[in-house]
Chains A and B, each alone.
Chain A
Amino acid sequence: MAALDQEKLDSDIKERITAMESPEYDSGPRLDRRDLIVVIVIAAVCIGGMVWGLS
């Protein structure tokens, strides 16, 4: 496959950055409160498990 020349590449990057910086751009759903709760529960289990291993 032919590599794009630098000018075309820069132009494509600019085009994509413009799209990404527009208010309509949606990068998809982010981690939310439910994920945070699961993270906290897993972290607590892991810390407990490490204390158990040290005992």
Chain B
Amino acid sequence: MSSLEQGVNQEVYYGILPMMPKERIYDFKATVLIIGGYAIATWCYVQGGYIGTMLPLKALFSSTVFSMTLVGLLVCLVGIIPQRHGIDMWLYQRAIFGYSLIGIIWLIVIASTWGYEAVNARLFANSIMTVLQELGIPAEGPVWVGVLGTACIVIGGVIAVKGPVAIKISTYIMVPCLLAVGVLIVVLIFRNASWADLMAVNPAESLGGDDFRTNYMVVLEWNIAFIFAWYPGFAVLPRLVKTEKSYYWGFLLGFCTIMACFVLIGAMTGLLTYAKTGVASTDPTDWLIGLGGPVLGLLSLVFIGFANITTQALACYTIGMSTKTMLPRRSYKSIVVFWSIFCIVLVFWDGIWQYYNTYIAIVGAVSGPAIMLLIVDYFIVRKGKFSLTGVYRLNGDCRYRYTKGFNIPALVSFAIGVTVYFVVYDPVAAWPRSDLFLYTTASGFSAICTTASYYIMSKIPAVRKYMQV
């Protein structure tokens, strides 16, 4: 291959060139494996651990598997845009937000997304530390967390630099292992307790007897926010999928249903640990040795720990590509290095780990309105028609400049969505502020307000002209 062809390929995969159908590499099976592999990292167990402190099993099952799949049906529409047009989603969002505003939104979303990767790296560190402790090595304290977390980030970054094919190969090895670990944990759960035992556990009741409906809706909110928080994950990867059908169903299965099952496994394990010890722990590394004994527990921890590296690689690739879209003159490699350092700082800071509920609420508050704007703008307002030259600003076509780079109707709708989120939900206390929350959740209410306000504004002829519809 000539250096010119290599350069073109580099820009296609790591850059901003629109991707043609023949250049796409993922079929349905690859999509499910890669997206499932991305989704089922140990943050599922953290999420499961948190919701496992709130509800009994039947309600956990309902509020996890059904709600995540239902919300996924809607959210997965977002990735149709990059899949259909071969461009990064952030490029399309120039048409929604304007050339300047999208930069601000991108920065907020991408910087906050790294919190997940910090959780991921932290759990890698916890897993390895637990294994080392079982082997008699006194690995504990923030230095060990920082060093091992950094190792996870660096190895993931190295795989990401090698590109999507390397990610595909590592995922093909890692995902079956992760699935096996999931099955193993389920076996361990039912070796320690019967279905009836699990159904009888009600942690919230024992922890103070909060209202069931409120608890259910709070868990629902956390799970919806968990799906909405995947917003940056829809930016790049869909354009690598060969067909729209493979993309949609592959992402729905991987991002939503498979992930929901793993969150549920985490919740069940948390419930069982609570039933056995009386302590509600949200850290999966606390559970596994107790459930599986030294051999199976350690094996699970090793697999889970190293699976996080694949997740880190995919995150680096996805976010690196999105950054490349915003800063095309920067090399992909330097971008991966920059974000990896940022993630290492977050791991050493440890604030995301300590305030996980607050973190996920803030990510959900920002991501929900942005996702709804994408859906209503592309499918309803513009009906799939927009200018690629305008998006790329080619030939002097700057039609999406709007008002000094800001699309005012989109800004207003986005601000409404974020504001109403915090009107009905307190992210610090992780608890509702309004009874409205009990019917819509905060993310649901935010999505409704964002969609309605943007749609209504888009019906005004002067606004339609302004928005280049």
Contact = CB atoms under 8 A, between A and B. Distances in A.
Interface of A: 1-4, 6, 8-10, 12-14, 16-17, 19-21, 26-31, 35, 39, 42-43, 45-47, 49-50, 52-54
A48 B431 CA distance: 25
B357 to A, nearest CB: 21
A12 B244 contact: no
B61 interface: yes
B17 A13 contact: yes
B21 A28 contact: yes
Given A16-B17, A28-B244, A53-B216, A9 B11 contact: yes
Contacts of A16: 17-18, 20, 86
Contacts of A20: 18, 20, 85-86, 388
A13 B392 contact: yes
B73 interface: yes
Contacts of B85: 20, 27
A46 B4 CA distance: 50
| Interface class of chain A by DSSP | helix
Nearest to B18: A16
Nearest to B328: A9
Given A17-B18, A28-B242, A46-B66, A12 B11 contact: yes
Nearest to A30: B244
Contact of A49 (B6, B65, B249): B65
B248 A3 contact: no
Given A17-B389, A53-B66, A12 B17 contact: yes
Interface in B56-87: 58-59, 61-63, 65-67, 69-70, 73, 80, 84-86
Given A12-B11, A43-B73, A50-B67, A17 B59 contact: no
Indicate the member of A6, A10, A29, A46 with the most B CB atoms within 10 Å: A46
B54 to A, nearest CB: 13
A4 B11 contact: yes
Contacts of A54: 59, 62, 213, 216
